[in-house]
Structure 1
Amino acid sequence: MMLIEETTVPQAVLPVAGLRSHLRLGSGFAEESLQDGLLEGFLRAAMAAIEARIGKALIARDYTWTVERWNDAGQGLPIAPVSAVLQLSIAGRDGVPAVIDPARYRLVQDAVRPVLAPVGSCLPTIPEGGRAVLRLTAGMSPDWGNLPADIAQAAMLLAAHYYEYRDETSLGRGCMPFGVTSLIERYRPVRIGLGAGQ
C-alpha cells in the first residue's frame, strides 16, 4: 500500500504573514519578507506533523493510493476526509491499467474513515500480482481560512515552536508542545481493540 501526494499546498494558501506577526518579527522594513521562505517551510513542516498525528489532510489536495489487495465488500481509505474520488483503475500483472466505470463504486464520506464502497455486491477484483490505483482529493478545507480554528491555531503554534527552536538538536525540546497536542487531541482517531492501549 502506498499513498502519494500528487499536488502540494499552494504557497498563497499558507499564512506566512500571520506567522511573521505571531512571532513578532519586524515589519515595515525593506527586508521584512527576507525570512518568508523559512517561515513557509516551518508552516509546511507543522502541517505535515499534525497530519501525521491525526491521520487527516488539512488543506485539500490530490493523492494517489496504490494497493495490491482490498476488502471487496468496501475498502477503508488511508486518509480523511475524502471529498472526491477522481479515478479508479486496476492493472493486472502486466501493469496495463484499465479505468473502472465510476458507476461500479461510490465514496462513503466520513471525517475519520471514508470508505470506497461497491455499487452492487463487491468492488472490482484486483488480479493476483496486480494493483488498484485510486486517485482522490482529501482535505479538511480548500484554504487556511476555513480550517477549524483549533487546528489552524495548533499549526501556527507548532510552526512558531519550530522557528524558536530551529537550532536545537536535542530530542527533549524538539517534541510536540503540550498546547499543540491538546488542540489536536479531539481529531485523533480512536483505537479500539487489541493493542489499543499500546
Structure 2
Amino acid sequence: MMLIEQTRVPGAALPLAQFKAQLRLGTGFAGEENQDAYLEALLRAAIAAVEARTGKALIVRSFSYELQGWRQSDRQVLPVAPVRVVTEIRLVDRNGIAVPVPPGRYRLVADTHAPQLRGTGGTMPGIPFEGSVRIDFEAGFGADWAAVPEDLGHAVLLLAAHYYENRLEQPTGKGAMPFGVAALTHRWRPLRLTPGAPR
C-alpha cells in the first residue's frame, strides 16, 4: 500500500505571521525574504511531523491511496483524517488498465480517527487478480489555518520554534517530540485496539 500526497499545503495557508510573532522576529529588515523562506520550511516540517503523529491532515489537500487488497471484504479504513470527499476509486488490472468504480458501489463513513469506505450491498468492489485499487480523496480540517484545531495549531508552532531554536545543534537520533507537542497532540492520535490497525 502507498499513500501519495497529490497537492501540498499552499504557502498562503501557513501561519507565518504567527510564527514570526512567537519568535519575536522583527520585520522590514534586509534579507527578510530569505528568512521567510526558511521559516516556511520549518513550518512545513513541523506540520509534517504533527500530521504523521496524529494521522490528521491539517490543511485540505488531495491524496491517493493505492493498495493491492481490501483489509476487510466490506470496508476499508483510510489512512488520513478527516476525509471530506472521495473523488474517485479506480480498479487497475495487471496491465495497468484502470476502470472507475461507480459512486453507488461505496460510501464514505466519517470518523475522527478512522474514516472508512464501505461497500454498498455488503462488499467492496472486487480488485482484479494481481491488480490494485487507487482511491483519490480530499482530507483536511479546512483550507486555511483558521480551520485547524487550536491545540494542533499550537503544537505546530511549538515544534517549529523548537526546530528554530535548536537549528545549530547536531541531531541526537532520539527522535522524541518535545513534551508540550506530545501533550497537545495526544488526544488526536489514532486509537489502536489491534496490532497495526486503527480501531
Do the two structures share a fold, i.e. TM-score over 0.5?
yes
Q: Secondary structure at the match of 1:124?
A: coil
Equivalent residue for 2:150? 149
Residues 166, 175 of structure 1: alpha-carbon distance in 2 compared, 3 angstrom cutoff: farther
- Distance change >3 Å, CA 166–CA 80, structure 1 → 2: same
The verdict on how the C-alpha distance between 1:75 and 1:172 changes in structure 2, with shifts beyond 3 A counting, is closer
Deviation, 1:20, is: 1.2
Aligned equivalents of 1:133, 1:195: Cα separation in 2: 21
Matching residue of 2:62:
62
Q: What amino acid maps onto 1:176 in structure 2?
A: M
Superimposed CA distance per residue, residues 126-149 of structure 1 (whole angstroms, 9 cap, x where no aligned partner): 022000001000112221111111
Other-structure match for 1:22? 22
- Counterpart AA for 1:140: F
- 1:195: Cα distance to partner? 8.8
C-alpha offsets along residues 146-198 of structure 1, whole Å, 9 cap, x if unaligned?
Answer: 111111011001011101111211327863210111111110112224699xx
Task: Point out where structure 2 has 5 or more consecutive residues left out of the alignment.
Answer: none
Tell me the distance in 1 between the aligned counterparts of 2:174 and 2:97: 49
User: Residue 35 of structure 1 aligns to a residue in which SS?
Assistant: helix
2:91 is matched with: 90
Q: How far 1:73 moved relative to its partner? A: 0.6
Structure 1, unaligned runs of 5 or more = none
CA contact (8 A) 1:7 1:62 kept: yes
SS at match of 2:65: strand
CA contact (8 A) 1:165 1:173 kept: no
The aligned counterpart of 2:136 is 135
Counterpart in 2 of 1:119? 120
CA 1:34/1:95 → structure 2, altered by over 3 Å: closer, same or farther? closer
- Alpha-carbon distance in structure 1 between the residues aligned to 2:45 and 2:83: 22
Number of corresponding residues = 196
**Percent same amino acid among aligned pairs?**
48
- State the TM-score, normalizing by the size of structure 1: 0.93
Counterpart contact for 2:113–2:191, Cα < 8 Å: no
SS of the residue 1:120 aligns to: helix
Q: What code does the residue aligned with 1:73 have?
A: D
Cα offset, 1:30, TM superposition = 4.4
In 1: Cα distance, 2:196 partner to 2:80 partner:
21
Q: What RMSD, in angstroms, separates the aligned Cα atoms of the two structures?
A: 1.8
Preserved CA contact (<8 Å) 1:168 1:174: no
